[in-house]
A and B are shown apart, each in its own frame.
Chain A
Amino acid sequence: NAGVTQTPKFQVLKTGQSMTLQCAQDMNHEYMSWYRQDPGMGLRLIHYSVGAGITDQGEVPNGYNVSRSTTEDFPLRLLSAAPSQTSVYFCASSYSGRGPRTEAFFGQGTRLTVV
């Protein structure tokens, strides 16, 4: 199993450019989410999805869009990149039920620099 796959691993953007961070999982998980990691702040939830066609905002959604057309894929779009979006981005997926199987699986991250 590949688990959660994120692409690209590294990206440099100029201010105002747009791009899409890709995330795919092969575990048939209903729940997927995007986090950004900044020094001293842990991981903060950007957007999440509880299933295909359903998305919602997390703690820090401004400047980001998401969609969920399939169970497997959950891309994150930056419409007009800003230096404040320089961060490491993690995608995660999990079984949507609650109980012993509750656990988030993380991708390896995308390091984004906006200049």
Chain B
Amino acid sequence: AQSVTQPDIHITVSEGASLELRCNYSYGATPYLFWYVQSPGQGLQLLLKYFSGDTLVQGIKGFEAEFKRSQSSFNLRKPSVHWSDAAEYFCAVSPYNNNDMRFGAGTRLTVKP
């Protein structure tokens, strides 16, 4: 069955520390991959996306993600977290041949001062 898994429900990091949020997917062919961020009470904002080409993708707000086909993973990273990064992060997957988008359960990020 097609699925998107974010193994970490909640992560706490100190401000200035590095961050990695995990995402694994199960699809028959390499899908399009996305990371979205949601601040409290807000809608979802696209951080970055992968559809083909270079497997290391740069996004907004200093985030990057790496697509690893062998591991069916698309992990999100940031070298130095800021307090304003506290939010919920969603990995999403869209099959290569249609617009359906399926989301992981989300990872809530808390940033300690």
List the interface of chain A (C-beta within 8 A of B): 4, 31, 33, 35, 40-45, 48, 50, 58-59, 90, 92, 94, 96, 98-100, 102-104, 106-109
Do A103 and B49 have beta carbons less than 8 Å apart? yes
Residues of B within 8 A of A43 (CB): 44, 90, 92, 103
Do A42 and B103 have beta carbons less than 8 Å apart? yes
Do B99 and A40 have beta carbons less than 8 Å apart? no
5 example contacts (A-B, Cβ-Cβ < 8 A) are as follows: A35-B103, A90-B44, A96-B99, A104-B34, A104-B46
Size category of the B interface is 20 to 34
Q: In the assembly, what is the distance between CA of A86 and CA of B92, in Å?
A: 23
Do A99 and B9 have beta carbons less than 8 Å apart? no
Total number of residue pairs linking A and B with CB closer than 8 Å = 62
Q: In the assembly, what is the distance between CA of A93 and CA of B9, in Å?
A: 27
Do B104 and A90 have beta carbons less than 8 Å apart? no
Do A45 and B102 have beta carbons less than 8 Å apart? yes
B residues 91-105 in Cβ contact with A at 8 Å: 92, 94, 96-97, 99-105
Residues of A within 8 A of B94 (CB): 102
Residue B113 at the chain A interface, CB threshold 8 Å: no
Residues of A within 8 A of B102 (CB): 45, 59
Do A106 and B43 have beta carbons less than 8 Å apart? yes
B40 to chain A, nearest CB (A): 11
For B42, the closest partner residue in chain A by CB is A108
Residues of A within 8 A of B90 (CB): 42-43
Other CB < 8 Å A-B pairs besides A48-B100, A104-B44, 17 of them? A4-B43, A35-B103, A40-B105, A42-B4, A42-B103, A42-B106, A43-B44, A45-B100, A48-B99, A90-B44, A94-B99, A98-B51, A102-B99, A103-B34, A106-B45, A107-B43, A109-B43
